[in-house]
Amino acid sequence: MAFFEQLGILAVTPGMVVMWLIGLTLIYLAVSREYEPLLLLPIGFGVLVANLPLTGLMSPGEGLIWRFYHYGVEWEVIPPLIFLGLGAHTDFGPLLSQPRLIFLGAAAQGGVYLTFFASQAFGFTLQESATIGIIGGADGPTTIFLAAQLAPHLLGACAVAAYSYMALVPIIQPPIMRLLTTEQERKIRMKKARKVTAREKLLFPLAATLVIVLLVPASAPLIAMFMLGNLFRESKVVERLTDTAQNALMNIVTIFLGLTVGATMSADAFLRGDVIFIFVLGLVAFAVSTACGVLLAKLMNLFTSDKINPLVGAAGVSAVPMAARVAHKMGAEADKKNYLLMFAMGPNLSGVIGTVIAAGIFLTMLG
């Protein structure tokens, strides 16, 4: 009889079957549609195996994936390592050549804060609300970092919402951008930015670390690793480390991150009424952030003769570089000789930093 009691198939619950379908859907989206496949594929598989009965994979203290989760995510190791790789990939030149566009990246955090208040109105706790709001920053690792500390039970849902909306940037953003801009504004060609020197790029990670960490110490784990990766890159003397941070290390931690995030989505944690709200509120956060970036660009145009194309404001959400590409494509639709890509990268990069700072502020106030 013991054999039959240990037979997994007899312990399957309907909730598990629903989760299998969700896991398989994520795998399908990753494979067939190539929606963020590097993440959705391991996440989808994580969802699937975590919802097989009697495996103990997520049993605290003993399960294999629980260990990945505990030491990788709960101990805040993996998201900062992802940021190390992102830093090594990032060229801050577009941001440094037009520093005024930094404000657009800051404005696009508007959705984060608005959704924070909206979520409370829907009955979420302060910590849960902050975690849901940060989805509006459209930054996966930051969302996971904050969720692990403030609301671990929402981690899976928030991470999947953040990565899904990042993949859906080209669908979600254009209608909002079109609604808020005129044809004339979309045609604005921006003045050539000044050239940024190698020395400026080298000094930036050092200066940014000092300023941001002194102001918002709780953002240090992400900012410090982000800027270290960037320092590797811009120093040009540690090619090997830059390469490892960009590729090998990034790939390794991506595997663990994806699998564990998926595995946090057990049927009882995920199949609850409020998860629907998380997805809806996350989408609102993202849409409001897009609108805030566009609107601030229009506001800035009232006070300057050197006009900003408001489309680049939408790139202030941090989905790099998808949001910048969307701004570029919409600019080219209005005027095919309008090349906005590099201008949009400025707000895009400052959006990443803005989201990390927002997460740091939430941690300081609520952690």
Positions that interact with other proteins (CB under 8 A): 192, 321, 324-325, 328-329, 332, 336-337, 339, 341-342, 345
The Cα–Cα gap between 347 and 102 comes to 5
Is residue 313 within 8 A of residue 296, CB to CB? The reply is yes
Least separation in angstroms between residue 342's CB and other proteins is: 5
Residue with tokens 């670390």: 209
Least separation in angstroms between residue 337's CB and other proteins is: 6
Residue 33's identity, in one-letter code, is: R
Least separation in angstroms between residue 193's CB and other proteins is: 9
Least separation in angstroms between residue 133's CB and other proteins is: 28
- Closest to other proteins by CB, 44 or 321: 321
The Cα–Cα gap between 71 and 75 comes to 5
Q: What residues have CB less than 8 Å from 31, skipping those under 6 apart?
A: 37, 41
The CA distances from residue 79 to 11, 139, 143, 145, 194, in Å, are 34, 11, 9, 6, 33
- Closest to other proteins by CB, 41 or 340: 340
Q: Which residues of 64-95 are buried (b: 16+ CB within 10 A; e: fewer)?
A: ebbbbbeebbeeeebbbbbbbbbbbbbebbbb
Least separation in angstroms between residue 335's CB and other proteins is: 11
- Closest to other proteins by CB, 321 or 360: 321
Least separation in angstroms between residue 85's CB and other proteins is: 17
49 exposure class (CB count in 10 Å sphere: 0-12, 13-18, 19+) = middle
The Cα–Cα gap between 133 and 24 comes to 27
Least separation in angstroms between residue 333's CB and other proteins is: 12
The Cα–Cα gap between 143 and 165 comes to 12
The CA distances from residue 64 to 253, 261, 310, in Å, are 16, 13, 48
- Closest to other proteins by CB, 201 or 325: 325
- Closest to other proteins by CB, 131 or 348: 348
- Closest to other proteins by CB, 195 or 240: 195
- Closest to other proteins by CB, 272 or 329: 329
